[in-house]
Amino acid sequence: MDFELTEEQRALADSVKAFVDERVDPRMPEIERTNEIPQELLKEASELGLFGISIPEEYGGSNLSRFSRVLVHQMLGRSGFGFAGVFAAHGGIGAEALVSIGTPEQKKRYLPKMATGELRGCFALTEPGAGSDAGGITTTAVKKGDRYILNGVKHYISGSTHAGLLTVVARTNPAPRSKEMSVFLVEPKFKGFRIGTIYDTMGCKGHPIAELLFEDCEVPEENRLGPEGKGWLAATKTLMEGRPVVAARCVGACERLLEISTDYAKTRKQFGQAIGEFQGVHFLLADMATRTEAARLLTYRAAVLADEGRVTSQDTSMAKLFASETLAFVADSALQIQGGSGYITDNPVGRFYRDARITRIYEGTSEIQRGIIGRSLLRN
């Protein structure tokens, strides 16, 4: 399998890397303090086309290949998961279902504004009683004339506080454990919708998660995505296709942490020599580099298979599982190499360490990924 970048892909990766390293990274301490991303950075990101990488060209996007999208998110991951999370929630899982199964009218109404970032999207699946057990959702959608009435609570929804369009999964068959669910496009202005608690999280600053309340929320029938009762497949497909994007951000974060750690090991002196000369440190660096490279290759493989139409849930789960577990190891090792200085809040290593923890939880926990991989192996 060939992972050699074309000149166009290399230029794309280089431009996003330069933007992240030169424009975003210097602002991360400010973003950490305020929990807000400066509008000028979002404007620059829009000018680079970062909001439209998964949106078809006819609606103003660039419709990049899966492999090229992974390259973009790999570079975004160099800043951590706050700024990068905006584009994952929006153009990854946020736009995926609309692009995949939306009607021409729905696409024409929403996608042009989503391609520029004027309208940001998010994906609302998780509920207080339905995290890893996504089939346990209790939010209901009852048809009433020319609209659906939604009732329920979603929580821990990434990107929801700034979203202008929410892709919401709700149960249209009230029978317990039924997979007859439907997907709806909900605008924040719809009657009966409001944002509840905005959670203060340990990481991913600038990209808050929130509780969403649907209290007799009225959604026009024309805003149902796909046939009624077929939303479960759309939801699981959205999650599966988003996993290589999570993996890519993990790889980018690992690469940046490895750079920081290598530079530190070269310049920090103890006992009269650079700490990188000690076997314990260069063994750590070797393991960090090796695992990062393995994670990158698994991620690239999943993306290439997706472009070829041959990807399986096992492929995407392997990439997400290994890359997120690798990031946990790399972030911990980077902090260990820096010692006490790594524990200081303003040190970027601490930011990566905090951000890394969520990657083994969202879009399918590590345990869920292992379950998917194991079942796939037993079926073959």
Active site residues: 363
For the chain, the first-to-last Cα distance in angstroms comes to 22
Instruction: Round to whole Å and give the CA distance between 245 and 69.
Output: 8
- What 3-state class would DSSP assign to 167? strand
Residue type, 277: E
d(CA 71, CA 3): 11
Separation between Cα atoms, residue 338 and residue 218, nearest integer Å: 53
Q: Which of 101, 104, 151 is nearest to 127 (CA)?
A: 151
- In sign, the C-alpha dihedral spanning 352, 355, 358, 359 is negative
Amino acid at site 327: L
Instruction: Give the DSSP per-residue string, 96-137.
Output: HHHHHH--HHHHHHHHHHHHHTSS-EEEE--BTTBSS-GGG-
CB contact set of 105 (below 8 Å; sequence gap of 6+): 222
Beta-bridge mates of residue 186: 166
Query: Residues with Cβ < 8 Å from 307, sequence gap 6 or more?
Result: 65, 66, 67
Residue 165 φ then ψ, to 5°: -150, 125
* Rounded-to-5 percentages of helix, strand, coil across the chain: 60, 15, 25
262: enclosing H helix or E strand:
helix 231-267
